[in-house]
Amino acid sequence: MYTVSQAAALSGVSKSTLRAWERRYGIIHPSRTEGGYRLYDAGQVALLREMAARVEGGMRAAQAAASLAGASLDGRQVGGHVGRPDGDDHADGHDRVAFDLVEAVVSLDPRRLADTVDGALDSREFEQVVRTWLMPQLHRIGQAWARGEISVAQEHQITAELMRALSHLFHEAPDRGGPTALVGLPPGARHELALLAFATCLRRLGSRVIYLGADLPPDDWRAAAIRSQARVAVVGAHCGTDAAGATEVAAALADLSPLVPVWSGGSAARQVTGASPLPDDVVEAAHHLHRALLGGRA
């Protein structure tokens, strides 16, 4: 019998992913110690390894779980639910209802919020989820806060849960080396969800991405660019104040040799002096920059 840490190491998936697959798809049913700790047998570890291989091969997790339903790697049949059926042609509308973050946070149930986030992000390809669920949900959260439907604390709770899930997906994407892109926010800027989604898309395309996070002073941008030998810097700007800070970042990088071109993203991207604006669509912006890096035009 293996602990969750041992099962994760043997199957090649993280502990959080292992627990999410167990909870969402029911492909494994670990036993418990008297203290409540999970224990996995060799057959369950083999199933996890097989599911990880299928996901790595291009299947969505829901599809991989469905393909394993009824499988038997240790002489026992695998059962359990597999969430929403894969390939749902009407998934966009369904996601808006089933994976509503405002509804989830109002319930004051942390598990429901986590399940809502994980379920949405795992419902299909990440890039499609960003376009059809994440960005609309971020807009809805802003509207709900402005109308007083959710508190500042609840908005922070949603943000923390999304940051957890997006950070996991970012680090799951392989680092294939190559030209480095620095991605972060200027001093004073803190709204990083869309930027982290962009960084994740870019890394999934195969670019090397160093994510610097929020509220980074220009001197720190400059030091990071020098140490990492970055080929390009991407700074987010979502309002006029962000644009002013992003302009300071661009100025701090302007005299580096070799040159580190600065690109800007976000609703105020075109207000940033010294930077080239990226497309408004997060996924399109990632593809645009990736092509520029490959072509040496970044």
Last residue of a domain, one of 148, 171, 194: 171
DSSP 71-96: --SSSS------SSPTT-TTHHHHHH
Asked if residue 103 is part of any domain, the answer here is yes
The CATH number of residue 34's host domain is 1.10.1660.10
Whether pLDDT at 79 is above 50: no
Do 45 and 120 lie in one domain? The reply is: no
The CATH number of residue 109's host domain is 1.10.1240.10
Asked if residue 190 is part of any domain, the answer here is yes
Q: Are 237 and 189 in contact (CB under 8 A)?
A: yes
Last residue of a domain, one of 68, 83, 112: 68
Q: Can you tell me the distance from the alpha carbon of 71 to that of 32, in angstroms, rounded to the nearest whole number? A: 23
Do 289 and 191 lie in one domain? The reply is: yes
Last residue of a domain, one of 147, 171, 195: 171
Asked if residue 25 is part of any domain, the answer here is yes
Mean predicted confidence (pLDDT) in 95-99: 57
pLDDT reported for residue 74 = 44
Asked if residue 253 is part of any domain, the answer here is yes
Whether pLDDT at 270 is above 90: yes
* Residue-wise pLDDT tens digits, 106-156: 877 888 888 888 878 877 788 989 999 999 999 999 999 999 999 999 999
pLDDT reported for residue 87 = 37
Minimal CA–CA distance to 233: which of 171, 275, 188, 296?
275
pLDDT reported for residue 109 = 83
Do 128 and 154 lie in one domain? The reply is: yes
pLDDT reported for residue 36 = 66
Asked if residue 159 is part of any domain, the answer here is yes
pLDDT reported for residue 119 = 78
Do 111 and 140 lie in one domain? The reply is: yes
Mean predicted confidence (pLDDT) in 250-276: 96
Q: Enumerate residues 6+ apart whose C-beta is below 8 A from 264.
A: 234, 235, 236, 237, 243, 246, 250, 270, 272, 275, 276, 277, 278
Asked if residue 230 is part of any domain, the answer here is yes
Do 282 and 177 lie in one domain? The reply is: yes
pLDDT reported for residue 71 = 54
Do 111 and 51 lie in one domain? The reply is: no
DSSP assignment, residue 271?
A: G
Q: Can you tell me the distance from the alpha carbon of 159 to that of 137, in angstroms, rounded to the nearest whole number? A: 11
Q: How does strand 38-39 pair with strand 31-32? A: antiparallel
For the beta carbon of residue 207, count every other beta carbon within 10 angstroms: 28
CA angle at 116 for the pair 27 and 287, rounded to the nearest 5°: 95
Do 48 and 131 lie in one domain? The reply is: no
Do 178 and 285 lie in one domain? The reply is: yes
Do 122 and 207 lie in one domain? The reply is: no
Do 139 and 234 lie in one domain? The reply is: no
Number of domains in the chain: 3
The CATH number of residue 277's host domain is 3.40.50.280
* Residue-wise pLDDT tens digits, 175-226: 877 889 999 999 999 999 999 999 999 999 999 999 999 999 999 999 999 9
Asked if residue 76 is part of any domain, the answer here is no
Do 192 and 259 lie in one domain? The reply is: yes
pLDDT reported for residue 245 = 97
Range of the domain at 250: 173-294
Asked if residue 46 is part of any domain, the answer here is yes
pLDDT reported for residue 23 = 75
pLDDT reported for residue 297 = 63
Do 237 and 128 lie in one domain? The reply is: no
* Residue-wise pLDDT tens digits, 7-63: 888 988 887 788 778 877 777 888 877 766 778 898 889 989 998 888 888 887 878
Give the containing element (helix H, strand E) for 251.
helix 240-253
